[in-house]
Amino acid sequence: MQDKGQRKSVDLFLFLSKTENMNGIENILRAASFAAKKHTDQKRKGNDGEPYINHPLEVANMLVNIGGVDDPDIIMAALLHDTVEDTEVTFDEIAEQFGLTVAGYVREVTDDKSLPKAERKQKQVEHAPHLSQGAKQIKLGDKISNIRDVTDNPPDGWDLQRRREYVDWGEKVVAGLRGANANLEKLFDETVEKARRRLAAAATQS
Protein backbone atom coordinates (compact mmCIF):
# COMPACT_ATOMS: atom_id res chain seq x y z
CA MET A 1 0.00 0.00 0.00
CA GLN A 2 1.37 3.44 -0.95
CA ASP A 3 1.87 6.06 1.73
CA LYS A 4 0.87 9.70 1.28
CA GLY A 5 4.30 10.77 0.04
CA GLN A 6 4.27 8.10 -2.67
CA ARG A 7 0.77 9.05 -3.82
CA LYS A 8 1.65 12.74 -4.01
CA SER A 9 4.85 12.15 -5.97
CA VAL A 10 3.84 9.39 -8.37
CA ASP A 11 2.09 11.61 -10.93
CA LEU A 12 5.04 13.98 -10.94
CA PHE A 13 7.32 11.11 -11.89
CA LEU A 14 4.87 9.97 -14.56
CA PHE A 15 5.20 13.45 -16.02
CA LEU A 16 8.97 13.21 -15.88
CA SER A 17 8.88 9.89 -17.73
CA LYS A 18 7.00 11.50 -20.63
CA THR A 19 9.10 14.62 -21.08
CA GLU A 20 11.89 14.72 -23.62
CA ASN A 21 13.73 17.49 -21.80
CA MET A 22 16.40 15.40 -20.08
CA ASN A 23 18.05 18.43 -18.53
CA GLY A 24 14.67 19.46 -17.10
CA ILE A 25 14.18 15.98 -15.63
CA GLU A 26 17.60 16.02 -13.99
CA ASN A 27 17.04 19.45 -12.48
CA ILE A 28 13.56 18.64 -11.16
CA LEU A 29 14.88 15.48 -9.52
CA ARG A 30 17.75 17.47 -8.02
CA ALA A 31 15.27 20.00 -6.62
CA ALA A 32 13.10 17.23 -5.15
CA SER A 33 16.14 15.63 -3.51
CA PHE A 34 17.40 18.98 -2.22
CA ALA A 35 14.00 19.84 -0.71
CA ALA A 36 13.65 16.39 0.86
CA LYS A 37 17.04 16.71 2.55
CA LYS A 38 16.38 20.23 3.83
CA HIS A 39 12.93 19.29 5.21
CA THR A 40 14.17 15.94 6.61
CA ASP A 41 13.33 16.54 10.26
CA GLN A 42 10.21 18.61 9.70
CA LYS A 43 6.59 17.52 9.98
CA ARG A 44 3.36 19.15 8.85
CA LYS A 45 1.34 20.70 11.67
CA GLY A 46 -1.50 18.20 11.39
CA ASN A 47 -2.18 15.59 14.05
CA ASP A 48 -0.80 12.74 11.93
CA GLY A 49 2.71 14.24 11.77
CA GLU A 50 2.95 13.88 8.00
CA PRO A 51 6.49 14.42 6.62
CA TYR A 52 6.82 18.02 5.47
CA ILE A 53 8.22 17.08 2.06
CA ASN A 54 4.79 15.70 1.13
CA HIS A 55 3.52 19.29 0.93
CA PRO A 56 5.89 20.62 -1.78
CA LEU A 57 5.50 17.32 -3.63
CA GLU A 58 1.73 17.80 -3.62
CA VAL A 59 2.06 21.39 -4.84
CA ALA A 60 4.39 20.39 -7.70
CA ASN A 61 2.13 17.47 -8.57
CA MET A 62 -0.92 19.76 -8.81
CA LEU A 63 0.90 22.22 -11.02
CA VAL A 64 1.91 19.48 -13.45
CA ASN A 65 -1.19 17.29 -13.52
CA ILE A 66 -4.01 19.76 -12.85
CA GLY A 67 -2.48 23.05 -13.97
CA GLY A 68 -0.69 21.64 -17.02
CA VAL A 69 2.52 23.43 -16.05
CA ASP A 70 5.50 22.12 -18.02
CA ASP A 71 8.10 24.78 -17.21
CA PRO A 72 10.87 23.04 -15.21
CA ASP A 73 11.77 26.29 -13.43
CA ILE A 74 8.24 26.65 -12.03
CA ILE A 75 8.12 22.98 -11.01
CA MET A 76 11.51 23.26 -9.30
CA ALA A 77 10.41 26.39 -7.48
CA ALA A 78 7.24 24.61 -6.33
CA LEU A 79 9.38 21.85 -4.82
CA LEU A 80 11.66 24.42 -3.17
CA HIS A 81 9.08 27.02 -2.22
CA ASP A 82 9.34 26.58 1.57
CA THR A 83 13.06 25.88 1.87
CA VAL A 84 14.12 29.47 2.59
CA GLU A 85 11.13 30.27 4.80
CA ASP A 86 11.30 27.10 6.89
CA THR A 87 14.92 25.91 6.78
CA GLU A 88 18.41 27.45 6.79
CA VAL A 89 18.58 27.65 2.98
CA THR A 90 19.31 31.08 1.46
CA PHE A 91 18.16 32.62 -1.81
CA ASP A 92 21.80 32.74 -2.92
CA GLU A 93 22.06 28.99 -2.39
CA ILE A 94 18.92 28.40 -4.46
CA ALA A 95 20.28 30.65 -7.22
CA GLU A 96 23.65 28.88 -7.22
CA GLN A 97 22.10 25.42 -7.31
CA PHE A 98 19.08 25.99 -9.55
CA GLY A 99 19.43 29.38 -11.24
CA LEU A 100 18.21 32.93 -10.79
CA THR A 101 14.75 32.29 -12.26
CA VAL A 102 13.97 29.54 -9.75
CA ALA A 103 15.37 31.64 -6.90
CA GLY A 104 13.20 34.53 -8.04
CA TYR A 105 10.03 32.45 -7.89
CA VAL A 106 10.96 31.16 -4.44
CA ARG A 107 11.64 34.70 -3.25
CA GLU A 108 8.22 35.86 -4.50
CA VAL A 109 6.35 33.26 -2.44
CA THR A 110 8.51 33.47 0.71
CA ASP A 111 7.18 35.33 3.74
CA ASP A 112 9.41 37.61 5.79
CA LYS A 113 9.35 35.82 9.13
CA SER A 114 10.79 38.83 10.92
CA LEU A 115 7.32 40.40 10.63
CA PRO A 116 4.39 39.61 12.95
CA LYS A 117 2.15 36.83 11.65
CA ALA A 118 -0.86 39.09 11.07
CA GLU A 119 1.27 41.46 8.99
CA ARG A 120 2.72 38.59 6.96
CA LYS A 121 -0.78 37.36 6.16
CA GLN A 122 -1.92 40.82 5.10
CA LYS A 123 1.12 41.21 2.85
CA GLN A 124 0.25 37.97 1.10
CA VAL A 125 -3.14 39.44 0.22
CA GLU A 126 -1.61 42.73 -0.93
CA HIS A 127 1.24 41.17 -2.94
CA ALA A 128 -0.77 38.43 -4.68
CA PRO A 129 -1.88 40.53 -7.70
CA HIS A 130 1.70 41.63 -8.33
CA LEU A 131 3.33 38.19 -8.44
CA SER A 132 4.67 36.75 -11.68
CA GLN A 133 2.53 34.16 -13.47
CA GLY A 134 4.83 31.39 -12.28
CA ALA A 135 4.70 32.50 -8.65
CA LYS A 136 0.92 32.87 -8.81
CA GLN A 137 0.56 29.26 -9.90
CA ILE A 138 2.84 28.06 -7.10
CA LYS A 139 0.85 30.11 -4.60
CA LEU A 140 -2.41 28.62 -5.90
CA GLY A 141 -1.10 25.10 -5.38
CA ASP A 142 0.17 26.03 -1.93
CA LYS A 143 -3.20 27.40 -0.84
CA ILE A 144 -5.07 24.35 -2.16
CA SER A 145 -2.75 22.02 -0.26
CA ASN A 146 -2.98 24.04 2.95
CA ILE A 147 -6.77 24.32 2.89
CA ARG A 148 -7.01 20.57 2.32
CA ASP A 149 -4.88 20.01 5.41
CA VAL A 150 -6.81 22.54 7.52
CA THR A 151 -10.00 20.73 6.50
CA ASP A 152 -8.93 17.11 6.85
CA ASN A 153 -5.95 17.16 9.21
CA PRO A 154 -5.84 20.44 11.15
CA PRO A 155 -3.01 21.43 13.47
CA ASP A 156 -3.51 20.50 17.10
CA GLY A 157 -5.57 23.13 18.91
CA TRP A 158 -7.20 24.64 15.80
CA ASP A 159 -10.92 24.97 16.55
CA LEU A 160 -13.58 25.30 13.85
CA GLN A 161 -13.52 29.10 13.94
CA ARG A 162 -9.79 29.28 13.30
CA ARG A 163 -10.10 26.80 10.46
CA ARG A 164 -12.93 28.85 8.88
CA GLU A 165 -10.83 32.00 9.23
CA TYR A 166 -7.95 30.30 7.41
CA VAL A 167 -10.22 29.37 4.51
CA ASP A 168 -11.55 32.96 4.38
CA TRP A 169 -8.01 34.33 4.31
CA GLY A 170 -7.00 31.86 1.60
CA GLU A 171 -9.85 33.16 -0.57
CA LYS A 172 -8.60 36.72 -0.13
CA VAL A 173 -5.11 35.74 -1.26
CA VAL A 174 -6.38 33.77 -4.24
CA ALA A 175 -8.59 36.69 -5.34
CA GLY A 176 -5.33 38.35 -6.37
CA LEU A 177 -4.11 35.26 -8.22
CA ARG A 178 -7.08 34.92 -10.58
CA GLY A 179 -6.21 34.65 -14.26
CA ALA A 180 -2.99 32.72 -13.71
CA ASN A 181 -4.29 29.18 -14.24
CA ALA A 182 -7.97 28.37 -14.78
CA ASN A 183 -7.65 24.69 -13.86
CA LEU A 184 -5.92 25.42 -10.56
CA GLU A 185 -8.45 28.14 -9.78
CA LYS A 186 -11.28 25.68 -10.41
CA LEU A 187 -9.64 23.16 -8.08
CA PHE A 188 -9.19 25.88 -5.46
CA ASP A 189 -12.89 26.77 -5.64
CA GLU A 190 -13.86 23.11 -5.32
CA THR A 191 -11.49 22.72 -2.37
CA VAL A 192 -13.00 25.73 -0.59
CA GLU A 193 -16.54 24.47 -1.23
CA LYS A 194 -15.64 21.07 0.22
CA ALA A 195 -13.91 22.71 3.19
CA ARG A 196 -16.96 24.82 4.01
CA ARG A 197 -19.25 21.78 3.80
CA ARG A 198 -16.98 19.72 6.04
CA LEU A 199 -16.55 22.48 8.60
CA ALA A 200 -20.29 23.21 8.64
CA ALA A 201 -21.01 19.52 9.21
CA ALA A 202 -18.44 19.39 12.01
CA ALA A 203 -20.08 22.41 13.64
CA THR A 204 -23.47 20.68 13.77
CA GLN A 205 -21.89 17.65 15.45
CA SER A 206 -20.05 19.62 18.13
The set of catalytic residues is 85-86
Q: Centre a 10 Å sphere on the Cβ of residue 136 and count the other Cβ atoms it contains.
A: 25
Is residue 146 within 8 Å of residue 170, measured between CB atoms? yes
Angle at alpha carbon of residue 128, lines to 126 and 133, rounded to 5°: 155
